[in-house]
Chain A
Amino acid sequence: MRSQRETVLQAVRAALVDVVAEPYVALELPAMPELQAERLAEQFVTEATAVEAEVFVASNFEAARQQVRHWLAEHKAQRIVCTASSRVAALEVESLVPPGCTVQSVDAFASEAERRAALLAADVGISEADAALADTGTLVELSGSGRGRLVSLLAPVHIALVSRRNLFPDLATFFRAFKIREQTHISSAVTFITGPSRTADIEQILTLGVHGPGVLCIALVD
């Protein structure tokens, strides 16, 4: 008996007997406008705000810390889980919340079950995005050690830091840079986050926070 693989491939090959092989002309991407860094930041803020994210442009890191303190208070954060990035560590989140709040790093759990329980119970997740796309207001997160794809997903509020240096004009330019960087090691999960979780499945009326965070706060830092 032929395997399913052979059956499908045979059928596909047989289906294409009429095709005259044409050389594939590689994609020529249209030239992207060269945007200045300042313009990029401005565009990112406009686009992210348009998809219901809250964006804060920090003049320095301390300003970003204070904004995170403000966001945590505003959303009455009690249980916070953070990724282990150095920028997130530099926030010193423990010092930004009143005593009694728990602040845990995804790397600091004894077992996977404990990590998952904490993530499911968290009311705020804090992560650092690896990149951002200006023309769609998108955050990009790569999976890898110390990161974790659940921090930006399970809690009802997601606070993200992103560096201006990692701001790309659009997804095409990001893909090109990403391919070069990841030639030997494509991340098992890359996630584009464009605004909070949303649905319009009941009567076509926009509702935020259906499965993922309903609140997305982004601090743009240097």
Chain B
Amino acid sequence: MPLESTAFLEKARETLANPQLQRALDASTRRLSVARQAAKAEVADWEALRERAYQIKKHTLENLPRYLTELETRLQERGGQVFWAADDAAACDYIASLAVRTGAQLSVKSKSMTTEEIGLVAALVRHGVETVETDLGEFIIQLAHEHPYHIVAPAVHKTREEVGELFTRALGAKPEREIAALTQIARRALREKFAHADLGISGANFAVAETGTIVVVENEGNARLSTSLPRVHVAVMGIEKVIPGWDELGVFLRLLARSATGQKLTSYTSFITGPRRPGERDGPEEFHLVLLDNGRSRILADPGQRPVLYCIRCGACLNVCPVYRKVGGHSYGWVYSGPIGAVVNPGLLGWQRAAELPFASSLCIACAEVCPVKVPLADLLLNLRARATARHEAALRLHFRRKARAIRAWAIAMRAAWTYTLAGRLARWWLRRRSEHGWVRTLPGLLAGWTQQRDFPLPAVKTFRRLWKERRV
């Protein structure tokens, strides 16, 4: 049953009732949106670039077996090991047994939504491998035992005071309120981990089939540390991340950082092709790439929803979404949030388990307009809504019976000028009777939703038609 009494609604209410969270959400999404617009404005061929990216993704996914096997072959030629994982359990088992085989006690992990998706940290901890999130935002989230709030800004909901208290409690650090000092506390704590880690874990933003190269985009340097200090590096990527070659990579790199944070490029972009070569002084001795399906082939099998897999996880659609900006990331109930989460989560989890998410949208479609790879989010959301509706027809019929009655009454009122005028007069009289100090605080029945989070202003004393008539006279 869409959006009647779901975890989404509960979480959303909680977020709406928290003024500090509302301010943080508003400020951060606004900042990222403004930065994105400025960065986009100086690329003359932005629209052509988006169309290019869309075509590349379409082509690659339609020929996915060919590009995945090419990626595998090239990477193996360069000494890398490839593991295909049908689901989260297979991926976690492989990495856990890799950790056990190499005697790893401590692993360091850079930011990756895919490892979050498969619950890798918990799986490694169960196997006795301490696993530390090293991206500052993720580190804070891990210490607080929470889940990321935003695809690119996981700790966007925490204030500096909260971070300071968390560091004092969890790390025994002396109380600090300056952001720079807090950052240095995290740097020192995590350097210690990097220096002793045996296993480094990363995601991959892209994988280049023609050379067997994975690409990791970041700002802090923790992904560089995770992929070059430990003696084993394992990267986890969804099978949809592969692209044909370096020319295509250039297109996506020009789009990704601009869309995510408004940067031309992030501070660091690492292109990693297998383990260290003879003669090299550093870098991992073993390199493993996990190619994860975990529901992606199911989305691929559904031509209507296939473009869900074009997403490059920039988060631009979250920042412009009027629903995300109010209800925040945790309301979506799983790893991916915002408009893209509303189509990815039902796709990966199965259409039944997140059926309500596509309804968490006003269909304003700002998301589709900003998407750097032109994911047709409107079509995808509507498809999923239609499916959820078809499946719950009986329940929905009951739900809509009251709505249908109201709509019939509306139709009668709109049928002739005199009924419209009469209905308007009645409505104004009724609203005025319910009001206090010029505001309507509550409305009954079907209309209750309007006044749940806000007050309803009284209608103007003179209607537009009345003003129009007076003007003409």
Residues from chain B with a CB closer than 8 A to the CB of A19 are: 62-63
Residues from chain B with a CB closer than 8 A to the CB of A176 are: 246-247
| B45 & A30 in contact (Cβ 8 Å cutoff) | yes
Bound Cα distance A144, B228 (Å): 13
Report the nearest A residue to B276, measured CB to CB: A188
- Whether A12 touches B64, Cβ cut-off 8 Å, given contacts A191-B268, A211-B220, is yes
Q: Looking at the complex, which one of B155, B228, B270, B301 makes contact with A15 (CB distance below 8 Å)?
A: B301
B351 at the A interface (CB under 8 A)? no
Stretch of A54-62, A69-77, A91-99, A197-205 at the chain-chain interface: A197-205
- Give the Cβ gap from B289 to chain A, nearest Cβ, in Å: 12
| B283 & A8 in contact (Cβ 8 Å cutoff) | no
| A175 & B280 in contact (Cβ 8 Å cutoff) | no
| B220 & A197 in contact (Cβ 8 Å cutoff) | yes
- Give the Cβ gap from B93 to chain A, nearest Cβ, in Å: 10
| A8 & B293 in contact (Cβ 8 Å cutoff) | yes
User: For chain B residues 243-270, which have a beta carbon within 8 Å of chain A?
Assistant: 244, 246-251, 253-254, 261, 263-270
Q: Looking at the complex, which one of A3, A15, A145, A175 makes contact with B297 (CB distance below 8 Å)?
A: A15
- Give the Cβ gap from A49 to chain B, nearest Cβ, in Å: 13
Bound Cα distance A187, B24 (Å): 42
Bound Cα distance A16, B67 (Å): 14
| A201 & B153 in contact (Cβ 8 Å cutoff) | yes
| A175 & B250 in contact (Cβ 8 Å cutoff) | yes
Contact bitstring B268-301, A, C-beta under 8 A = 1, else 0 = 1111111111011111000000010100011011
Contact bitstring A176-199, B, C-beta under 8 A = 1, else 0 = 101100100011111111111111
Report the nearest A residue to B58, measured CB to CB: A22
Report the nearest A residue to B194, measured CB to CB: A211
- Whether A15 touches B298, Cβ cut-off 8 Å, given contacts A189-B272, A194-B264, is yes
Bound Cα distance A137, B84 (Å): 38
Report the nearest A residue to B110, measured CB to CB: A211
User: For chain B residues 379-402, which have a beta carbon within 8 Å of chain A?
Assistant: none
A85 at the B interface (CB under 8 A)? no
Bound Cα distance A150, B227 (Å): 11
| B303 & A202 in contact (Cβ 8 Å cutoff) | no
Residues from chain A with a CB closer than 8 A to the CB of B187 are: 209-211
| A27 & B248 in contact (Cβ 8 Å cutoff) | yes
B143 at the A interface (CB under 8 A)? no
B78 at the A interface (CB under 8 A)? yes
Q: Looking at the complex, which one of B190, B272, B274, B281 makes contact with A145 (CB distance below 8 Å)?
A: B281
- Give the Cβ gap from B48 to chain A, nearest Cβ, in Å: 7
Max chain A C-beta neighbours (<10 A), residue from B52, B191, B219, B250: B219
B186 at the A interface (CB under 8 A)? yes
| B180 & A207 in contact (Cβ 8 Å cutoff) | yes
| B271 & A190 in contact (Cβ 8 Å cutoff) | yes
| B247 & A175 in contact (Cβ 8 Å cutoff) | yes
- Give the Cβ gap from A25 to chain B, nearest Cβ, in Å: 8
User: For chain B residues 177-234, which have a beta carbon within 8 Å of chain A?
Assistant: 179-180, 182-183, 186-187, 190-191, 195, 211-213, 219-222, 224-225, 227-229
Bound Cα distance A13, B279 (Å): 41
- Give the Cβ gap from A17 to chain B, nearest Cβ, in Å: 8
- Give the Cβ gap from B300 to chain A, nearest Cβ, in Å: 4
| A172 & B86 in contact (Cβ 8 Å cutoff) | no
B154 at the A interface (CB under 8 A)? yes
Residues from chain B with a CB closer than 8 A to the CB of A11 are: 86, 293, 297-298, 301
Residues from chain B with a CB closer than 8 A to the CB of A210 are: 136, 183, 186-187, 220-222
| B283 & A193 in contact (Cβ 8 Å cutoff) | no
B134 at the A interface (CB under 8 A)? yes
B151 at the A interface (CB under 8 A)? no
| B48 & A149 in contact (Cβ 8 Å cutoff) | no
Residues from chain A with a CB closer than 8 A to the CB of B229 are: 116, 150
- Give the Cβ gap from B213 to chain A, nearest Cβ, in Å: 7
User: For chain B residues 157-189, which have a beta carbon within 8 Å of chain A?
Assistant: 158-160, 163, 179-180, 182-183, 186-187
B140 at the A interface (CB under 8 A)? yes
Residues from chain B with a CB closer than 8 A to the CB of A186 are: 78, 211-213, 273
Bound Cα distance A213, B272 (Å): 21
Residues from chain A with a CB closer than 8 A to the CB of B137 are: 199, 201
| B220 & A198 in contact (Cβ 8 Å cutoff) | yes
Residues from chain A with a CB closer than 8 A to the CB of B163 are: 202
| B277 & A203 in contact (Cβ 8 Å cutoff) | no
Report the nearest A residue to B226, measured CB to CB: A211
Q: Looking at the complex, which one of A16, A204, A213 makes contact with B62 (CB distance below 8 Å)?
A: A16
| A199 & B136 in contact (Cβ 8 Å cutoff) | yes
7 contacts between A and B (CB under 8 A): A11-B301, A16-B62, A24-B59, A47-B264, A115-B281, A189-B273, A201-B154
> Other CB < 8 Å A-B pairs besides A205-B179, A210-B222, A212-B267, 14 of them?
A11-B86, A12-B239, A19-B63, A21-B63, A24-B63, A27-B56, A115-B281, A150-B229, A171-B254, A175-B246, A188-B273, A191-B269, A193-B267, A207-B180
Report which B residues bind A (CB closer than 8 A). 24, 27-28, 31, 45, 48, 52, 56, 59, 62-65, 68-69, 78, 83-86, 90, 134-137, 140, 153-156, 158-160, 163, 179-180, 182-183, 186-187, 190-191, 195, 211-213, 219-222, 224-225, 227-229, 239, 244, 246-251, 253-254, 261, 263-277, 279-283, 291, 293, 297-298, 300-301, 303
